[in-house]
Structure 1
């Protein structure tokens, strides 16, 4: 093994050296100590087949740092990233460029969940009127999909940029594990999902996403289960999202949409295979009515609410009425299943819908009882739907028992011939934000990675000279009526000085709407600044509009020649936003991003820590806020030449004792001590732009 280790280490060193393959393939490449250190650590982990956790600061170049040793190792490589968009970027841009540069004859594949691919059978059903949409706009969307279906080779809906993934067209033309006909489907041989899985099984490098990784644990139907045993290297990029994604998939969910969709699928199936053999219309309508009655129990509860649900009734609901509605729903499902059970042998589709119904009834029974001790359960209220969810508090046990196998055993050397065995895999977890202590405990503890090898690689950016932090004092207390108004005033004043180029990150949707609307009202229709707000368009469209404005809009006296942009956003905009150059020069965070204490998952995790003698605020709330703050601040400086100012409109960052811990999580920016220094920094940004 020593010769193999030396061989991989030498190949990695040569690839990153001046004049090596990377410098020949990438004209802009130059050796960076942090990137090389990470690549060497990844090479060692691959040879030892162990677990490595790497926090790589922005600008390190972590993608190449893990890809180069992984590709050169000769092992099958599985890379999982956080979103489909990042998956597409890695597969379409980074991997082909690197594979070509290294001169390796590797087969690459991208595998997504079935909801990402066109289902030919479902499209046929729409075409034949069996699931005909009624909305003319939806019909036009289906027609566009049908035209594209004649030419696509992959069936990947991402090829249709005009089709938003939230469009009502998507569920009409894609399948789920529930409604897929399997080998009985007339399109089985041409199925885009099957083709993608076959290509993945034949490939040397496969790119998936975290959702697919966890969705496969129980269902074993996404294709990942077959990939893992023959994979030698698994890379989890954007690993900071792993726990949240895993918790989502490791639990149980039952939604009103599932139940109504099931009733309608039963009606369609029985009309085709068991017409007249039961009063299907009444039975299915009774299920739908029971679902509507259940939804009525949360009338008056704000959309987006998450109601804690440890007992038999969600918090704040009438126990007797909720129980009665659940019982009626269970009875209506059972009444529908009874004739299906007697007829399931008549057709495979009847058997399939009966099995689906049995699963839904079992899940409903579990939600009718009290929650399990080691889990958290809540009711999610949407504008048109309900979601019942139960999850473990973290993914530690799942990771250790079902994914990592022997890979975490300290010093465990691979035995000859076991390269392809499950549990003898090199696991690489990496992100720019994984923790604030030496062991990266914020990430490693909930993910069951205590004992893993840990590496921290600092960002190469010159934050001290290129970035500044301003905490306005005095300032209204967060949560007070004046706070949002003061944030809006500060943003307007600052953005006018630099011609827009400002991203406002809020901790709640309420703050987003308050600050955004206040900015719009105060600036008016004919201002040189345009206010963009999350929700008015898809995330990608908002970012493209922001970048276009930043590239065109001048500043100062010439500002009338173009309009600058202020983007007010929350949630997903705290990460995954890459706006390099001077299109973004000001990031404003409205307040410290502590987890909401009334969130059921947060409440349960805090309660668990307190029960074992730990301090929930210092051991959970504070590290969560530090990581979120670090993510938000990371939007500002994206390249070695970027310059900008970060503003945190929360005086607690300097007045409270815990502020020092939060400050330590931020990049080493210089501190602006007064409003005058803040204005000077903004004027300096405006004066140097374009030089």
Structure 2
């Protein structure tokens, strides 16, 4: 079979490339400088990353905890960036990993490698514009947008204190980066001092353009060899027709198991009556009163309709709602037209108000257009799913959401066909294969099994997918569509690129330094009843209590819902001899800190704990999972995706629900072993892991622990570990 041309352009090497040591030499120097030891898996992964960069062939690299995967991709990325005088983007899903890379890994590598590279390594962190404090908004104030709930004097007082903190911080901060403010503030307070890209005046027109935090971050990133960013900004860069990230031909996606969810979140739009009222109020100060009144009337109609609609996925668009959305769309379009072009020499304060109004009303218009368009195709051929979320506590208004059923086409067209991607995580193989996640990313099937070694590169061309009109293009009815991240920052338009006809990728699992069968036990409570919908039964609570008693505390309880976590915490606190914390009692970070510091403490919680806890040592020796974490049957997005797979002849349950559960189970089980000395038990209280037909797929997604279904065996093992 003929080998197709690489997806990405060949590296642009300089004359100094021959003088730069190879990846193996640089890696050895880096490991020695930071006082580490060379690890076979790390070396293997570094070689695979180097091959991907040189060949243009995408790489999926699974590397277990303790492998040292950050160095394994940073070293070849640094060598390529310096040799080719280019930028490599490293994208992560979490703030913690961004901070590790920028505050620890890259500074140490820059110092260690400078003698070998012959130049100083430049690196920077870049986030979306809304993550940076806006000096102009701090000075002039935000548009007045009172929302439901703010009329509570106590809420107003708390918001005022947070805003005062932000104004004080504005005089001290050197970066304006929201993540550097500790403790943080709520979203409502942050909106008073930050702007979206569409609200931004642009560096040339803003009085603070030369000192703008976001602009300084962009400028620093433009000169960097390595730019660290997040999956959200990577998604925005793919969605928009404008450069957000510096020009680059290689991207490393760490924590790649979260890529689909992050891209989906960025490509999800929301519409509520309150949002339309905000747009009408902002426009009302700048345009003819009658036009803003039309939009306000549409907002009131939408609020009435949504209050009467049941929550959940919407497969059909009712006539009243369709008519209201059409009226709303047209009223928003009229307001955009009335706002007209921006004056060239306007007052910055007036210009900011006009930008805020235009941003709000364009968002309303574009979302209404997308919602109406979502119902045009027959059910099996739709690309978006719509659902209504009701907030019965009254804290938020009823809200319509519209999200993509899949993001593979977007990722394939905007990422994999234009640059080389290295995707890595401790959890990429599900059911023993890279295929489940690769399908979601939009990559074609591999020609052979990808687990355990570099697999044969695939040259299969996936089926073409129609694409939605990009948000930066005019809407079909002539209305002005929203700009993207970077439009307010004088961003350069992306040059057109001819798409590659074929994609090539390979997968590699470099293993783990842990001896899983010796260090850990997988216990499946086969004797327990299958989980139901009525909460945790008494027999399950007894099982949890007995396991914790045998372990002497030291337990992380991972539950499929907050209701189950709270029920277990409330009913077991009086029965246990050890402290028990439950998510929601304090900030998650403080709870994890208390859990890690007191060896006998237990911590119960839900989703964020499945993936966000890193507690090595004796404080965590038992991980309890209450049930296989399938998505809820009524989850709008998951159910729509299952239906779409089934409509094309696939197994929707396995492709969506089982894959989701396998990924979370693998992540949850990965909390147990975080250092070479760790030992313990992962206890899954759901017998379906060994009794259901899909149980083999789920179990093969977990680390290869020694497995038992005997409760006496596992309790004895926990007592021995506790005694040691």
TM-score by length of 2: 0.79
- Distance in 2, Cα, partners of 1:297 & 1:445: 38
Q: Distance in 1 between matches of 2:162 and 2:526?
A: 52
Structure 1 counterpart of 2:412: 400
Q: 1:644-685 CA distances to partner (integer Å, 9 max, x unpaired)?
A: 111000111122233222222211111234221121111112
Contact 1:467–1:646 under 8 Å retained in 2: yes
What does residue 556 of structure 1 align with?
none
Query: 1:453 aligns to what?
Result: 506
Q: What's the offset of the Cα at 1:615?
A: 2.3
2:708 equivalent in structure 1 = 672
What's 1:546 paired with?
Answer: 595
Q: 1:23 to 1:82 in 2, by over 3 A?
A: closer
Counterpart selection for 1:374 from 377, 382, 388? 382
Unmatched tracts of structure 1, length 5 or more: 314-318, 406-422, 551-563
CA positional deviation for 1:385: 3.0
Q: Distance in 2 between matches of 1:489 and 1:495?
A: 10
- Taking a change above 3 Å as real, the CA distance of residues 9 and 638 of structure 1, as seen in their structure-2 partners, is farther
Q: Provide the C-alpha distance between the structure 2 equivalents of 1:348 and 1:362, rounded to a whole number of angstroms.
A: 22
- 1:341 positional shift: 5.3
Shifted more, 242-251 versus 104-113: the winner is: 242-251
Matches within 5 A, 1:567-582: 567-582=603-618
2:642 to 578, 581, 606: 606
8 A Cα contact 2:53 2:250, kept in partner? yes
Distance 1:343 1:250, change over 3 A: closer
Per the TM alignment, residue 575 of structure 1 is displaced from its structure 2 partner at its CA by 1.0
Given that 1:476 and 1:483 are in contact with CA atoms closer than 8 Å, whether structure 2 keeps it comes out as no
- Does 2:110 match 1:99? yes
The 5 Å alignment of 1:356-375 reads 356-368=360-372, 370=375, 372=377, 373-375=381-383
Structure 2 stretches lacking a partner, 5+ long: 1-9, 445-457, 459-504
Q: Distance in 1 between matches of 2:111 and 2:78?
A: 11
CA distance in 2, matches of 1:350, 1:454: 50
Decide which of 52, 61, 80 is 1:54's aligned counterpart.
61
Aligned residues of 1:504 and 1:566 also touching (Cα < 8 A): yes
Per the alignment, do residues 2 and 259 of structure 1 end up closer, same or farther by CA in structure 2, a change over 3 Å counting?
closer
Determine helix, strand or coil for the equivalent of 1:665. Answer: coil
Q: Distance in 1 between matches of 2:698 and 2:398?
A: 36
Selected match of 2:136 from 121, 127, 137: 121
Distance 1:362 1:126, change over 3 A: closer
Query: How far, CA to CA, are the matches of 1:93 and 1:543 in structure 2?
Result: 22
SS at match of 1:89: helix
1:256–1:116: structure 2 CA closer, same or farther, 3 Å change rule? farther
Q: After the TM superposition, which of the residue ranges 396-405 and 109-118 deviates more from structure 2? A: 396-405
Contact 1:344 1:351 in 2 (8 A): no
Contact 1:484 1:511 in 2 (8 A): no
Instruction: Name the CA distance, whole Å, in 2 between partners of 1:128 and 1:429.
Output: 41
Equivalences for 1:180-579 in 2 at 5 Å? Answer: 180-182=200-202, 183-220=204-241, 223-224=244-245, 227-228=246-247, 231-256=248-273, 258-267=275-284, 270=286, 278=289, 286=297, 289-290=300-301, 292-298=303-309, 307-313=312-318, 320=320, 322-323=321-322, 326=325, 329=328, 333=332, 340=339, 348=351, 352=355, 353-354=357-358, 356-368=360-372, 370=375, 372=377, 373-383=381-391, 384-405=396-417, 423=418, 425-436=419-430, 440-450=434-444, 451=458, 452-479=505-532, 481=534, 483-520=536-573, 522-523=574-575, 528-550=577-599, 564-579=600-615
**What is the CA deviation profile of residues 358-414 of structure 1, one whole-angstrom value per residue up to 9, with x for unaligned ones?**
452243144245154331312241531344333333222212222222xxxxxxxxx
Native 8 Å contact 1:286 1:332 kept in 2? no
How far apart in 2 are the matches of 1:686 and 1:152?
A: 46
The 3 A distance-change label for structure 1 pair 482 and 215 is closer
Contact 2:90 2:229 in 1 (8 A): yes
CA–CA separation in structure 1 for the residues paired with 2:654 and 2:271: 34
- 1:590-630 CA-to-partner distances (Å, cap 9, x unmatched) read 11122333222222222222223222233443333222211
- Structure having the larger proportion of residues in helix: 1
Q: Report SS of the residue matched to 1:145.
A: helix
Q: How far apart in 2 are the matches of 1:541 and 1:265?
A: 40
- In the aligned structure 1, how far is the partner of 2:704 from the partner of 2:433? 20
Separation of aligned partners in 2, 1:278 and 1:261: 15
Q: Give, in whole Å, the separation in 1 of the partners of 2:546 and 2:173.
A: 50
In the alignment, the residues of structure 2 paired with residue 342 and residue 240 of structure 1 have an alpha-carbon distance, to the nearest angstrom, of 43
Residue aligning to 2:41: 34
RMSD of equivalent CA atoms:
3.3
Contact 1:311 1:371 in 2 (8 A): no
| Equivalent-residue separation in structure 2 for 1:357 and 1:679 (angstroms) | 61
Q: Tell me which of 97, 102, 107 is aligned to 1:86.
A: 97
> What is the alpha-carbon distance in structure 2 between the residues aligned to residue 440 and residue 335 of structure 1?
49
Among 177, 181, 199, which residue is 1:179 paired with?
A: 199
* Change in CA separation of 1:431 and 1:327 when aligned onto 2, cut-off 3 Å: same
Q: Deviations over 1:476-509 (max 9, x none)?
A: 2201547344333322332233342211111223
The answer to whether the 8 A contact 1:8-1:43 is kept is no
Distance in structure 2 (CA, Å) of the matches to 1:297 and 1:484: 35
Partner Cα distance (1:342, 1:436) in 2 = 52
Q: Distance in 2 between matches of 1:506 and 1:204?
A: 42
Distance in 2 (alpha carbons) for counterparts of 1:334 and 1:653: 53
Secondary structure, in 3 states, of the residue corresponding to 1:455?
strand
Residues 71-98 of structure 1 show CA distances to partners (whole Å, capped at 9, x for unaligned) of: 1222421100112332222211121122
Residue 163 of structure 1 and its aligned partner are, at CA, apart by 1.2
Preserved contact between residue 9 and residue 40 of structure 1 (Cα < 8 Å): no
Give the superposition deviation at 1:3. 14
TM-score in terms of structure 1 length: 0.83
Which SS does the other structure have where 1:575 is aligned?
helix
Distance in 2 (alpha carbons) for counterparts of 1:380 and 1:101: 54
Alpha-carbon spacing, 1:665–1:233, altered in 2? closer, same or farther (3 Å): same
Paired residue secondary structure (1:184):
coil
Per-residue deviation at 1:263?
3.2
